[in-house]
Amino acid sequence: MSETPTQKSALHSLTLQSAAAIAVAVAAERLGVVLPEGVEQELASAAIDLVVTLGLIGVAVGRARARTPLV
């Protein structure tokens, strides 16, 4: 069964992945680093995973602090 566009998560969005890959390629070019073929996509995927993980950690910490008395 294929996914409809409304069921597709933002992490699997080709637009998001392409934008992140372009950002990585531009940053590498400005730094003068030559990346092998396909590395931009891998770095972009890793960056997206890092941002999502840090966001989830932030939510968890915020919820934990909200359940305890603020000092």
Q: Which of 47, 39, 52 is nearest to 20 (CA)?
A: 47
2 lies in some domain? no
Q: Which domain holds residue 29?
A: 11-67
3 lies in some domain? no
26 lies in some domain? yes
pTM attached to this predicted model: 0.65
CA distance linking residue 24 with residue 56, whole number of Å? 23
Q: In total, how many domains does the chain have?
A: 1
22 lies in some domain? yes
5 lies in some domain? no
- Is there a contact between 19 and 56 (Cβ–Cβ < 8 Å)? no
20 lies in some domain? yes
Arithmetic mean of pLDDT over the chain: 82
Q: What is the pLDDT of residue 10?
A: 66
pLDDT exceeds cutoff 60 at 1? no
- Percent above pLDDT 90 for the chain: 27
pLDDT exceeds cutoff 70 at 5? no
63 lies in some domain? yes
6 lies in some domain? no
Q: Which residue has the higher pLDDT, 47 or 65?
A: 47
